[in-house]
């Protein structure tokens, strides 16, 4: 699934010469598949290093501290299903400020996450979900930290894509092309914001 998402969707915002940071990279599903000159994965989980491709630099650090990245050094910060795991709104604002700091002027923050507006019935079924977020609340947090909102899709991907449906590349490409499919099944937001 992530190879298809990276190639046929997220690549529109990422140039081959860019430096990309995957915030809360987990098992590196995104960063391993995106084409970029320099690929960074920030996650406090030691297992991230074992999952990272050979061209990915893993920064095994908590996102709630100061990131070991110089200011204005990154073209794109990408985060998928990470912000809801933060313990508080101040931790979220800290992460957004750090993203703003490491991004070059004109750089992008791209964020995916479960949208509490559309999955409130299952959002809390995961013990590690701490912070309820919607497309609206994250957009507001981004604007408060200095970002300019470029795109907000309240219903982008299903809440989960495991177990129930085939994840063949053709199916994922079909889903991405059909706005009706996203309106029917989408329970995760997609937000794109720019550092002025």
pTM: 0.90
Per DSSP, the three-state class of 56 is: strand
Inter-residue contact 20 to 69 (CB < 8 Å): no
DSSP state of 13: G
Per DSSP, the three-state class of 103 is: strand
Per DSSP, the three-state class of 97 is: helix
Does the pLDDT at position 132 exceed 70? Answer: yes
Domains and CATH numbers, the chain: 2-194 (3.40.50.150)
Q: Residue 30: which residues within 8 A CB-CB, separation 6 or more?
A: 2, 5, 6, 10, 22, 78, 80
Mean pLDDT of 176-185: 66
pLDDT for res 162: 53
Residue 165 tokens read as 């449906």
pLDDT for res 166: 47
Element (H, E) at 183: helix 179-185
Does the pLDDT at position 164 exceed 60? Answer: no
């Amino acid at each position: 699934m992530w190879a298809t998402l990276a190639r046929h969707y997220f690549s529109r915002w990422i140039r081959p010469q860019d430096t990309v940071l995957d915030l809360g990279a987990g098992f590196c599903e995104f960063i391993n598949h995106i084409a970029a000159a320099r690929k960074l994965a920030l996650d406090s989980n030691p297992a991230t290093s074992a999952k990272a491709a050979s061209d990915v630099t893993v920064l095994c650090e908590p996102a709630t501290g100061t990131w070991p990245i110089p200011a204005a050094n990154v073209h794109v910060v990408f985060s998928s299903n990470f912000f809801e795991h933060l313990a508080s709104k101040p931790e979220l604002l800290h992460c957004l400020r750090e993203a703003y700091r490491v991004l070059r002027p004109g750089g992008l923050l791209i964020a995916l996450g479960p949208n509490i507006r559309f999955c409130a019935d299952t959002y809390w079924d995961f013990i590690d979900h701490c912070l309820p977020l919607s497309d609206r609340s994250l957009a507001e947090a981004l604007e408060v930290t200095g970002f300019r909102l470029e795109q907000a899709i309240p219903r982008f991907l299903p809440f989960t894509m495991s177990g129930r449906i085939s994840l063949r590349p053709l199916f994922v490409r079909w889903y991405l092309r059909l706005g009706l499919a996203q309106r029917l099944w989408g329970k995760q937001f997609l937000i794109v914001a720019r550092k002025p």
